[in-house]
Structure 1
Amino acid sequence: MLTLNKFRAFMGLILCLIAGFCPFLKVPIKGNWNLYQSDPRLFLITYTIIALGVIALFVRKAGFFKFTAWVHLIWFVLAAAAVWFKSNNYFNFGIADRLLAKTIHYQWGWIVWLVGVLFLIMSVQRGRNLGNKVPPEMPRV
């Protein structure tokens, strides 16, 4: 039986929602980019996964919430890898790509997103299954 810690779940969902608008990349001429400015498809897929997690939380399906949390973790790793590869191979020209990779810096939005995903993962735990056992009654005084 899965138990869901709602405080951790809500904190994780709120942090993931906020992380989409935090700065993810610092581009020299353009300034700070959030998740939408770095890649709109990445933004929409991320918020779709968050919406599925919110639906699972409100419908009280702990198994589906756990599934969406793990999908969100995998998506975080894929997004970080995609942004890293995109910034290191933007022009398909060795000298320009190395120069661009040295000028683009990652910002603190990645950390907020990772903490939110970790809260989502830690919110679902295996609980004790009492089955048909009834707890003993308290003695009446």
Structure 2
Amino acid sequence: MLIVNKPLAIIGLILVFVAGFCPILQVKIIFEWVNWGLYKTDIRLFLITYSFIALLSLCFFIRQLKAFRLLTRVMFIWVLLMAAAVYFKSTHYFGMKIADNLLGKAIHFQWGWIILGIGAVLLLFSVKKERLSV
């Protein structure tokens, strides 16, 4: 039997939702630092992430616990893949070592990744399987 820790799940959903609007990257453009959220970083990552969040919320509120458990795992893996993809894209964008080193120095990860990661971990640990004792 699956059991959901509702406060943990709701806090995780809120954190993951809010993290998309937090600064994800800091980019230096012509002597000025600009903060980019998930939407400005890549629109596809933004849309896929928020579709996962919408499905997670739907499964949580209609009590489809097996689907919710599966989607929490998928969301955690997605956050890890998304962070790796953004890192590798920013450090290997041009394919030339000199240009990539300059670009790598101009792009820095921001605190939005921490919020996204904490939310994904809270969602991951909000569902547990428990044996039914009779």
Q: Is TM (by shorter chain) over 0.5?
A: yes
Mapped to 1, the partners of 2:5 and 2:65 lie a distance apart of 10
Which residue of the partner structure matches residue 104 of structure 2?
A: 101
Which is greater in Rg? 1
Where does 1:13-24 land on structure 2 (aligned, <5 Å)?
A: 13-24=13-24
TM-score by length of 2: 0.94
TM-score by length of 1: 0.89
The letter for the 1-side match of 2:94 is F
Report the aligned-residue RMSD: 1.0
Which residue of the partner structure matches residue 7 of structure 2?
A: 7
Mapped to 1, the partners of 2:73 and 2:131 lie a distance apart of 22
Structure that is richer in strand per residue:
2
Which residue of the partner structure matches residue 138 of structure 1?
A: none
What are the superposed Cα offsets for residues 1-38 of structure 1, whole Å, 9 maximum, x if unpaired? 11001111110000000000000000001600000100
What are the superposed Cα offsets for residues 27-56 of structure 1, whole Å, 9 maximum, x if unpaired? 001600000100000000000001110011
Which of 50, 54, 57 is equivalent to 2:53? 50
Which of 120, 124, 130 is equivalent to 2:123? 120
Residue correspondences, number: 131
Could you tell me which runs of 5 or more consecutive residues in structure 2 were left unpaired when the two chains were aligned: none
- Are positions 1:129 and 2:99 aligned together? no
Mapped to 2, the partners of 1:86 and 1:74 lie a distance apart of 18
- Are positions 1:83 and 2:83 aligned together? no
